[in-house]
Structure 1
Amino acid sequence: MSLPDSVTPLKIADAARAIRHVFVRDLLLDAHIGVYAHEHGRTQPIRVNVDLTVSEAAHSDRLANVVCYETVVNDIKALVASGHLNLVETLAEHIAARCLVDPRVIVARIRVEKLAAIPEATSVGVEIERAK
């Protein structure tokens, strides 16, 4: 499966710098999000993509030794379930901040898209990058 033309491929993993790339692709959730009155009191579909630049360390095939993508997903689900947000920008900032809590995460690139906000568009949203 190839990436859509609208998604820039990333080269984050880097052996020379001991950098690992941990990612979540196309996480589909229903969120209470939006600033307009018609967006309050209901959910709408969103898509979340996460790219993390992670400092590699030798590991012994133990989950505790890596940044776990399931933990990242569960954190995003908890943020989305925590209540209404007005802006996708706010959700992206919360996700980035949560990812950067892990000392191994150096950079977090987060993309949040609303999938039904504009009928003529496949999606609208924001992409941010935050670093320690």
Structure 2
Amino acid sequence: MKIVTKDRVLIEGLTVSTTIGVYEWEKNIKQKLVLDLEMEWDNQPAGKSDDVALCLDYFKVSQAITSLVEANKFELIECVAERVAELVIQLFSVNWLRVKVSKPGAITNATNVAVVIERSMCS
């Protein structure tokens, strides 16, 4: 019997400060973004061997995302989501991922605004 895997690695609530926004006043300040990622990864080899080398290193993924977002200026959270997806697919060979980028407090009467994208590597 062949076991079919649908494994995921999650990073939730990754908080990063960056320059983000379309208004002039936003272009001169840092604002908080919160990122949630769901990444397809076959966890079975690591689970069977207990070998960290076979894992998707979520610490390195988090560091790479933080470096990318903090080092750049953005107008749109949609752009942040796209850039993060491209980075993770390219650097970590993730076949599929879902990225949620939240900008808490962007709207006075809302707790949060966010975009969610799903991307996959082309064969």
Cα shift at 1:64: 2.0
Contact 1:55 1:106 in 2 (8 A): no
Q: Which amino acid aligns with 1:65?
A: L
Measured against aligned partners, the alpha-carbon deviations of 1:80-131 in whole angstroms (never above 9, x if no partner) come to 111211111111111111111223x221100001112111111112100001
Measured against aligned partners, the alpha-carbon deviations of 1:29-79 in whole angstroms (never above 9, x if no partner) come to 222111111211101111100000113452332322111111111011101
Farther-moved stretch of structure 1 (121-130 vs 17-26): 17-26
Could you say what secondary structure the match of 1:40 adopts? helix
Could you say what secondary structure the match of 1:35 adopts? coil
Residue 34 of structure 2 corresponds to residue 40 of structure 1: no
Q: Which amino acid aligns with 2:82?
A: E
Residue 32 of structure 2 corresponds to residue 18 of structure 1: no
Residue 65 of structure 2 corresponds to residue 76 of structure 1: yes
d(CA) in 2 for partners of 1:110, 1:119: 24
TM-score by length of 2: 0.86
TM-score by length of 1: 0.80
Contact 1:26 1:47 in 2 (8 A): yes
Question: What's the C-alpha RMSD, in Å, of the aligned pairs?
Answer: 1.7
- The structure with the greater share of residues assigned to helix is 2
Contact 1:118 1:124 in 2 (8 A): yes
Contact 2:97 2:120 in 1 (8 A): yes
Contact 1:44 1:116 in 2 (8 A): no
Corresponding residue for 1:7? none
Corresponding residue for 1:9? none
Corresponding residue for 1:6? none
Could you say what secondary structure the match of 1:64 adopts? helix
d(CA) in 2 for partners of 1:35, 1:17: 45
Corresponding residue for 1:63? 52
| Residue ranges of structure 2 left out of the alignment (5+ in a row) | none
Residue 113 of structure 2 corresponds to residue 121 of structure 1: no
Contact 2:9 2:38 in 1 (8 A): yes
Could you say what secondary structure the match of 1:32 adopts? strand
State the number of aligned residues.
117
